[in-house]
Structure 1
Amino acid sequence: MNITGNTVFIPGATSGIGLALALRLQARGNTVIVGGRRTERLERIVAEHSGLDAVRIDTADGDSIQTAATQVLADHPDLNVVVAMAGIMQAEDWTGPDFLATAERTVTTNLHGPIRLVAAFVEHLRTRPGAVFVTVSSGLAHVPLRVTPTYNATKAAIHQLSEGIRLQLEPAGVQVIELVPPAVRTTLMPGQEDSPIAQPLDAFADEVMDLLEAQPDAHEILVEGVGFLRFARERGVYDATLARLNASDPHAARV
């Protein structure tokens, strides 16, 4: 991925990692469109950051994705990068009766959402030079956190989805990059924004931008702090890493 000169749509960019990357990409000379469910947040972001565009999108709703795609492509026919950032992470207790709704909502947002985004944009992306689709998985795709089993599963699925669609899309001219965050200080889960274990948001976003610039042909973007999860099995330390992760403060370890 070239770090500049793109037109980038980021569903899930009204806060946290998505917004941090949107602002950095804009500063590097890209046209950036942020997407999110809450119109008031989108309006505030556009007002506060001159040059950003915004489109309402709910990635848990297939119709909303199609409507947003139509608007983005009409307004920005040069679009060549889509970053499937939107996701949710919620604790579940599978020993009780009330986990199913949370599990289903997590699958709809975290897995169906990116699949539907590919479906909505891939035909257009195949016509654009320098086309890129960015998926967002997690270190927890490789070592699970006890309190978020469905989140872990959806991110493992995103990892394999990224590997699979890359085999089809890259020969067709669309680069597929998987961004693999560690725990980052965002509001993804309660208490995570203050976690001493999680990586500060600005440090994470800066490292991601540096890696994108240094590795334009990368398949995965792996900041230093996610390696202990990403390569635990390959390094023969999976069981120890699993125990270490789940012995931590559950709010601090979440990714």
Structure 2
Amino acid sequence: MNISGNTIFIPGATSGIGLALALRLRDAGNTVIIGGRRTELLTRIVAENPGVDAVEIDTTDADSIRRAAGSVIDTHPDLNVLITMAGIMRVEDWTAPTGFVATAEETVTTNLLGPIRLIGAFIEHLQTRPDATILTVSSGLAFAPLQATPSYNATKAAIHMLSESVRLQLAGTSVKVLELVPPSVRTDLLPGQRESEFAMPLDDFVSEVVELIKSEPTATEIQVENVKFLRYGEARGNYDEVVRALNQLDPHGK
């Protein structure tokens, strides 16, 4: 992915990593459209950040995704990058008979069905662009589980394998598949995560991500240094140690 000259749609970019990355990509010389559910919040972000456009979208709703995709493509026909940023993280107790089921279903709908539907809504258009990218967002927890968030871990592992598989299918097209693998970052994804001493400062994370995109334009995964402890535990042969350390030291994960 080139660092500049793109037209980029980022649903789920009204806060946290999504918004911070949107602003950095705008500053790097891209046209950026953010997406979110709250019209008043989108209006405020656009007013405060010249050069950013916005569209209302609920990534848990298939019809909303289709409407938003049509609007974005009509307004920005040169769109060539989709970043499937929207996601949620919920603590679950699987020792309770049914208490976790609704939360797990919500997590799967948002974190897995949402990106699948987004890619489905944009893939035909992206293949008409000479140089296009789908940027998925998995997590270090795709590779080492945080005990408190089983469904989040599972959806992010699924996003990793989905990215690997779709990349193979699109190999003969103009569309690249790039996977962002965040560690724990100081956002509001979980209560208290913004204050966690184990989480990476948001500005530092986004700066390193932008630098990696710039320096490694043909990469298939964006891995900041902080995520490699989780990402490569199995390959290093110390997976059990990684899992123990993660669950003893960091109650928030990412």
TM-score (norm 2): 0.99
Number of residues paired by the alignment?
A: 253
Deviation at 1:235, TM superposition (A): 0.1
State whether residues 2 and 130 of structure 1, in contact with CA within 8 Å, keep that contact through their aligned partners in structure 2. no
* 1:87 alignment counterpart: 87
Residue 227 of structure 1 aligns to which amino acid in structure 2? K
* 2:66 alignment counterpart: 66
Partner of 2:94: helix, strand, or coil?
coil
Deviation at 1:250, TM superposition (A): 1.1
**Which stretch of the first structure deviates more once superposed, 165-174 or 107-116?**
165-174
2:30 maps to 1:30: yes
Deviation at 1:249, TM superposition (A): 4.0
Partner of 1:175: helix, strand, or coil?
strand
Deviation at 1:170, TM superposition (A): 2.8
> Which consecutive residues of structure 1, in runs of 5 or more, have no partner in the other structure?
none
Distance 1:170 1:62 in 2: 27
Partner of 1:90: helix, strand, or coil?
coil
Residue 167 of structure 2 aligns to which amino acid in structure 1? R
- Residues 80-120 of structure 1 show CA distances to partners (whole Å, capped at 9, x for unaligned) of 00000000000000001310000000000000000001100
Partner of 1:233: helix, strand, or coil?
helix
Distance 1:31 1:170 in 2: 26
Write the mapping of 1:1-255 to structure 2, written as runs, cut at 5 A: 1-96=1-96, 97-251=98-252, 254-255=253-254
Partner of 2:207: helix, strand, or coil?
helix
Residue 26 of structure 2 aligns to which amino acid in structure 1? Q
Residue 5 of structure 1 aligns to which amino acid in structure 2? G
> Which consecutive residues of structure 2, in runs of 5 or more, have no partner in the other structure?
none
Residue 161 of structure 1 aligns to which amino acid in structure 2? L
Identical aligned residues as a percent: 64
Distance 1:77 1:173 in 2: 16
TM-score (norm 1): 0.98
State whether residues 137 and 158 of structure 1, in contact with CA within 8 Å, keep that contact through their aligned partners in structure 2. yes
State the 4+ residue runs in structure 1 displaced beyond 6 angstroms: none
